[in-house]
Amino acid sequence: MDRIRSQERRKCQRYLLAFPIRYRVTPRHAPSLTGGGTTCDISPIGLSFLCDEALPVGSHIEMVAQWPVKSTGRCPLDLKMTGFVIRSSQDGAAVCVTSHKLCADNEASLPYRAGA
């Protein structure tokens, strides 16, 4: 177990959380891609999620995840994140997160809401 921990290269602990996510990828010199998936794990600086297609590595990505807890039981919350795709395959992607903000779902600036 200690050997496994010593091989861990992540700067922050990731938490296993599965909730809906929507994304928009803007590759260089190509049209934007949009899609959805389910998060696998998350930290303040990284995220991995399941998706149905390989995303272009190095591309900028905007994401909105439907946070699983409601604010004081009244308003759904969304976690808005931006970053860069660092790994991708036909069934999932890993992102280096550069910014994140937890906000009421009507404050998320992407034109779609997670799970919609």
Predicted confidence at residue 8, as pLDDT, reads: 56
Q: Report the pLDDT value the prediction gives residue 71, as an integer from 0 to 100.
A: 55
Helices (H), 1-116: 2-7
**Letter string b/e over residues 54-87, b meaning 16 or more CB atoms within 10 A of that residue's CB:** ebbeebbbbbbbbbeeeeeeeebbbbbbebebee
Checking if the pLDDT of 91 tops 50, the result is: yes
pLDDT in tens, 19-54: 999 999 998 888 999 999 999 999 989 999 999 999
Q: Which domains does the chain have, with CATH numbers?
A: 2-107 (2.40.10.220)
Q: What is the pLDDT of residues 49-73, one digit of tens each?
A: 999 999 999 999 999 998 876 556 6
Q: What is the pLDDT of residue 9?
A: 62
- Which amino acid is present at 97? V
Which of 39, 45, 43 is closest to 23 using CA atoms? Answer: 39
**What pLDDT does residue 15 have?**
87
Is the pLDDT confidence value at 1 over 50? Answer: no
- Contacts of residue 91, Cβ cutoff 8 Å, sequence gap at least 6: 50, 51, 52
